[in-house]
Structure formats: C-alpha cells, structure tokens
Amino acid sequence: MHDVPGLLAVHAHPDDEVIATGGVLARAASEGRRTKVVTCTDGSRGEIVGEGMDPDEIRPRLAEVRAGEIADALALLGVDEHEFLGYRDSGMMGDEGNDDPASFWRADVHEAVGRLVRSIRDFRPAVVVTYDAFGGYGHPDHIQAHRMAVLAVEAARTASLYPEAGDPWHVAKLYLSSFPKSAIAEANRQFAEAGLPSPFGETDDPADIPMGTEDHLVTTTVDVRDHMAAKQAALRAHVSQIAPSSFFLNVPEPMVEGFYGTEWFVRRLSAVDAPTPEDDLFAGI
C-alpha cells in the first residue's frame, strides 16, 4: 500500500480541509491514492452558527461535536485517515485564546514540528499541502500550521532530527494552497452581479484585497469539477460551522463551477522533474 503515492493535507481547524483542498483530496482518493488530513487544533473557539444549535449548550463540548463533523466530512471526500495534532484552537488574531498555553499559537516549535514529523514518517506521503505564509486569511492557527508543516517536511527527511519519530521520509512535493487574486476579483464581480455580498469584501480591484496570491506565483491549477458535489456535501457536514444562510451554501448555480471547480497551489518544493505550470499535484511522481 505504501507504494501508492499518498497525499497529506495539514490544516488548522476541522472544516478547513474542504474549501481549498477538498477537491484534491477527493480526486486523489478516486485515483486510488492514500489520503490523510492532519488537523492541528480542536476548533473549540469556532463560532457556533448551525441551524437550531444553542451556542451556550454546544460550546462546552464543541471540540467533540466538531470531531464528529470532520469524520463525516472526510468520509464524504473519501479520505482514508485523520489525526488531530492535539492543540487547542487559538481563536482569531487578538482573541484571548491566543494566550492559552495549550493553544496552537503558543505551541513550542520543536515539539509541534516533532508531532508532524512523526505523522509524515508514519504516513509517508509523496505530496504534502498546507497554507501559504499568511494562512490564507491571517488566522493565527493557519499561520502556525504553515510554519510547522514547512519545517516538518524538511525535518522529516533528516535522519538526525527526531530519531525517535521513525525512519526519515522524503516528501517529493510540498504545496501551499492559494486563491489567485484574479479569481477573487472575478468572484466579487459575479457576486455583485447576482446582488449578493461577497465573502472577500466589496472590491473588484485585486490590489485592494488583502488575501490571495499574485497570479504569476500560482504554479498549479487543478480541475476538481468531478468532485464539486462531494465538496459541497462535506461542507454541509460541518453543521455547527455553517449557517443555512452561509454564502458557501448559497452560491448561485451558474457560479458553482467557478467557486468549487478549481483548486490552486503554489509549489513550495519539488524533488521531481515536473515543469510548471502544471495541472496535477502528482505530476512527475
């Protein structure tokens, strides 16, 4: 089984796996590849917006609720394995959760990298995906996931680091999930045309959008149209996190393909010969 090149996605909270990487996970699974998601935190500081859910009642057991939700979501995507890295949700930047010693934002670098190194050496993925340096949109746990994943990929191949965490493993390709600025501008234009508020703010000038990646830096554009239904179903499985009125569940039909049908990445490293631009995370492997 270990001979089939696998895909490992490192994410911050339960539900993050769907929007930016749900398609590549489902696609890899459908191609018979091994797939795994590591979720660094328990998501215990997430907003509780699920239909009919009483936030006061759910809050004390939100981590448990979200563990159930991500299990359902990953089953819908066809993902084989899941692991919680064991940290507490830090909350948004500036939130009091940022100071919690058990939070991911306060994690000891050596220790957190060690946990991911163990996971990488154990699963032996050909490809790892995580966030860009801004964590997509600036959430502390996403920024931290980027840092730890990049360091762990390097450390995992180095035999003299974390020798107790298993035999060294060389990840062939590392990717940062990204959203090209042009795609954000186009989504904003379409949302405006449909009379809907945009999730990215009300501008159609890419220069005014704080998130997103300069188009020329995007190396890899993956067609995941065959897996849009699985992505949408997986998103709905995160019941506590997605209000019925959420724009994610109310994307007008003509815009669904634009919103769910493509996933973009910046290739951070490759040990194989694969020219860019490319349209497959496994190109050259």
Q: Which residues bind Zn ion (CB under 5 A)?
A: 12-13, 16
Gap between the Cα atoms of 42 and 200, Å rounded? 26
Residue nearest to Zn ion (CB): 13
Nearest distance from residue 135's CB to Zn ion, in Å? 8
Q: Which is nearer to Zn ion, 13 or 36 (CB)?
A: 13
CB burial class (10 A; 0-12, 13-18, 19+) of residue 86? middle
Q: In 10 A of CB 172, how many CB atoms?
A: 18
The residues near 8 (Cβ < 8 Å, ≥ 6 apart) are 35, 36, 37, 38, 119, 120, 123, 125, 127, 128, 129
Q: Which is nearer to Zn ion, 95 or 280 (CB)?
A: 95
Nearest distance from residue 13's CB to Zn ion, in Å? 4
Please give the structure tokens belonging to residue 222: 């993956």
Nearest distance from residue 41's CB to Zn ion, in Å? 8
Nearest distance from residue 39's CB to Zn ion, in Å? 9
Q: Which is nearer to Zn ion, 113 or 143 (CB)?
A: 143
Q: Which is nearer to Zn ion, 118 or 238 (CB)?
A: 238
Nearest distance from residue 139's CB to Zn ion, in Å? 5
Nearest distance from residue 142's CB to Zn ion, in Å? 6
Q: In 10 A of CB 114, how many CB atoms?
A: 18
Gap between the Cα atoms of 90 and 106, Å rounded? 8
Q: Which is nearer to Zn ion, 16 or 278 (CB)?
A: 16
Gap between the Cα atoms of 149 and 112, Å rounded? 9
Nearest distance from residue 141's CB to Zn ion, in Å? 6
Q: Which is nearer to Zn ion, 16 or 69 (CB)?
A: 16
The residues near 65 (Cβ < 8 Å, ≥ 6 apart) are 58, 240
Q: Which is nearer to Zn ion, 125 or 136 (CB)?
A: 136
What are the start-end ranges of the H helices in the chain?
16-30, 55-58, 62-77, 109-123, 140-156, 181-193, 228-237, 253-260
The one-letter amino acid code at 202 reads E
What are the percentages of helix, strand and coil residues in the chain, rounded to 5? 45, 15, 40
Nearest distance from residue 54's CB to Zn ion, in Å? 23
Phi, psi for residue 153 in degrees, rounded to 5: -60, -40
Q: Which is nearer to Zn ion, 35 or 39 (CB)?
A: 39
Gap between the Cα atoms of 67 and 65, Å rounded? 5
